Structure 1
């Protein structure tokens, strides 16, 4: 039953991956008011998966991450993304728990102006690809964790099989020893029977010898 559940979980993750990695344009409230941004739902991941994915994907942009107090928002200050702007930009980001996953939303601040499709379809598409890369990376990180966990289960089962094989081998040796002991005992019983027959004859011979000696003694009296 455990393995059926595991397979269903993996299938759910796979389906969640294919269905959820679809960034879309949004306009929503953030620290600078209602602004255009890009959001994506990342299914079946942990917050650590999302945080690690953000760090890995945005690391080349060399911005400084800053948390906005009393909110779920943080931003990458003075990030360098030449495909979007020749100047440094700020990437405001919000990660919110939603069911079995997280909604990740990014706002690309070009310096008082937030990037949207109307400003530049090409630059907006590049920004959308960044958001998608973060979603994909978060899902990959979670899959790595699942694979590592399932690999440990497999290793455990293989170790159990090795232990059972060794146990069976030991039992087979014990059985062989027992059979050898039985055979040796049977042979010894047969040998003892021969010796007992010989002893019986010796006893009878000795008894007859005693009888004769007793008879000779009576004659002396």
Structure 2
């Protein structure tokens, strides 16, 4: 089994945009601090062939634990010999990296309200708030409690539609957190996003450790 890093993986962290709507499920979870899309290429030599695959993404929790995630639309998408083979191989790779292997269907991402909110946020994933807009959000969060999405939108722009566009961009950029278990609207409560721990293990740290003699 060979794990190849640096194979074109794209990432998302507190300073970047998610590359697709699927990754938004990790972006809006305050306990997730980093997400990597297609984090590595895995080559496994089997008796019949050379199997090459890439897991959908890797994500890191605030406690440092990494997940290797195989996203699937539903349980039926896990059928088929090739798919099952790849998932087994990804599980072996996760174990080698000291990570957990997770097969995640769409329904497992969250409640129906959470998923509906996710679809709404996905429209705004290319919005990048300015530094001054980020500062407005930080000042408001620091000065008062019980802040709502509507309060923030009103402070960001005089036109409600534009204000919410910027506010959603702040959520996607991880500058603020919002309650995703209620329908997004003016009364949705927002809070500061927890700071990312300074020192966290890298996904490939185990590969760089010297082997015992």
Q: Give TM-score scaled by structure 1 length.
A: 0.25
**Which structure dedicates a bigger proportion of its chain to helix?**
1
Specify which structure has the bigger relative contact order, considering alpha-carbon pairs within 8 angstroms and separated by 6 or more residues. 2
Q: Give TM-score scaled by structure 2 length.
A: 0.26
